[in-house]
Amino acid sequence: MSTMTIKNPVIRADVPDPSVIRVESTYYMVSTSMHSMPGCPIMKSTDLMHWDLVNYVFDTFEDNDAHNLLNGKGIYGKGSWAASLRHHNGMFYVCFSSNDMQQFYVYRTADIENGPWERSVIKGLHHDPALLFDDGRIFVIHGNGDIRITEFTADVTAHKPDGIDQLLFETERDGIGLRCEGCHAYKLNGYYYLIFIDWPRIGNRRRRVNVYRSRELLGPYENKIVLDDDMGYFNNGVAQGGIIDTPTGEWYAVLFQDYGAVGRIPCVVPVTWEEDWPILGIDGKAPQTFEVPLPSSEAKPLVISDEFDYMENKLALNWQWNHNPDNRYWSVTARPGFLRLATGYLARSVEYARNTLTQRTEGPACIARTVMDSSGMMPGDHAGMVALQSNFGTVGVQVADNGDRYVTMCVKQDGGEKAVESIRFESNWIYLRIDFNFVDNIDLAHFYYSENGETWNPIGRPLQMKYTLDHFMGYRIGLFNYATKQTDGFADFDYFHFAKKDAAQ
């Protein structure tokens, strides 16, 4: 049997709350996407190390001011949270809660890579849900500390009338900052296993993996801490996720770890069984490398360069919009070989600008470049590239009321954007670049512009990137254009070039 080496983290980018299944020899993973659209990305792998983005569960899932980033409203830190992925009787199921909508969403399809997905909406939150199929009955186990079990109909479209809906158990409170959540549920070896994350205030004071088990669905349950390790990285616990087996019977866990401003990144650890408990890691540690008896697959990039050469207005899967896009105001066909972002709305900052097109950043370091034609911009317009999180930084072109152009580096201040440095710029064409350094939580972004794409001029100041919970997402790279005075202007981006680095330049 062939083997390959797992090297942790397996993805150095924001792929939080992983939920993984195996169908024959293929693994599928879904993760949290919150305010990025399309949402609930589906990735697949044959070796648990190399993951390929193949689909999304939805393009958008609600149509209102907050999801559309209108009238000062947004769903930063909300949207789709902690989806559960399961496969049962030939159907794939994804379910999640949306805090802003106070609703529970269930999507199902027979074809996970192509869809279509059928949607059901159920009132009420089911926090961090775990789907469990059990002898013809379907349950969702959910909650934070107070763990509940709710029974669903056979097609998982509604609560089952007169079905089980009760408190299952309460998890430890004393000395615990974050009580058990992020459930992953399994029926194995004659036991029901519920795998949680919790975060104590005492002891190692980091996220850890806490497993509850019972021979009866409704309990009583006993629990055991099965992993409490940071893999040597700033006491950030490797936790939250589930377990998965191989076709030949080995077991592994797919978890995530907080990794500073780049986000929450997936890791894989071996699992052994001791007295019917899943024990994660090796000698209590999450290993940085280990061998798995799986055939290695081709590494495909999660973040890509793009020349914007499309025959139709359908972008590569690697792109996601910040909130719902308005498809009337973007195009890759209006000017072939270019991404055109037109202004359809006024906005006070890039944080509330519609149709900002984004991809993830990647660690340890990475560089993003673009070249932009600003000749279609109007007075009051602002277009360019953004390092996007709550504490954002931008580099781009601002057009003054008299039509003069300025290359400007801006940061967030008082809910808007403040120019750190602004320089008169004569040409319509400008090259823009952001360098991201995530090495050892340095978390700095540097901003540059150029007249020819070869000689780069630093502008503004380095941005101290911060992972904050109001956005709850790792930094993303965005291309943007918004209006502050009048609509109908546009900016054309000729390409987006991305390079991942092993260390900052």
pLDDT range class, residue 220, cuts 50, 70, 90: very high
pLDDT averaged over every residue in the chain: 97
- For residue 89, pLDDT beyond 60: yes
Active-site residue 181, yes or no? yes
Q: What φ, ψ does residue 461 adopt, rounded to 5°?
A: -145, 160
pLDDT at 505 (0 to 100): 57
Prediction pTM value:
0.97
Q: How many CB atoms lie within 10 A of CB 346?
A: 14
Domain 7-292 has CATH 3.40.50.1100: no
- For the domain made up of 320-501, the CATH class stated in words is mainly beta
Domain ranges of the chain: 7-292, 320-501
Q: Say how far apart CA 186 and CA 88 lie, in whole Å.
A: 13
Q: Which of 181, 228, 373, 435 is catalytic?
A: 181
Contact 140, 125 (CB under 8 A): no
- Selected catalytic residue, list 14, 17, 47, 230: 17
Taking 80 as the threshold, does the pLDDT of residue 485 lie above it?
A: yes
Task: Tell me the per-residue pLDDT of 420-479, one tens digit each, with 9 for 90 and over.
Answer: 999 999 999 999 999 999 999 999 999 999 999 999 999 999 999 999 999 999 999 999
pLDDT at 2: 81
Q: Which of 38, 67, 75 is nearest to 53 (CA)?
A: 38
Same fold, 7-292 and 320-501: no
Closest residue by Cα to residue 104 from 86, 80, 132, 133: 80
**504 falls in which pLDDT band (50, 70, 90)?**
low
What is the average pLDDT across 182-201?
98
pLDDT in tens, 228-260: 999 999 999 999 999 999 999 999 999 999 999
Asked about 435 being catalytic, the answer comes back as: no
Segment 294-310, tens digit of pLDDT: 998 888 999 999 999 99
Confidence at residue 221, expressed as pLDDT on a 0 to 100 scale: 98
* Token reading at 26: 């293929």
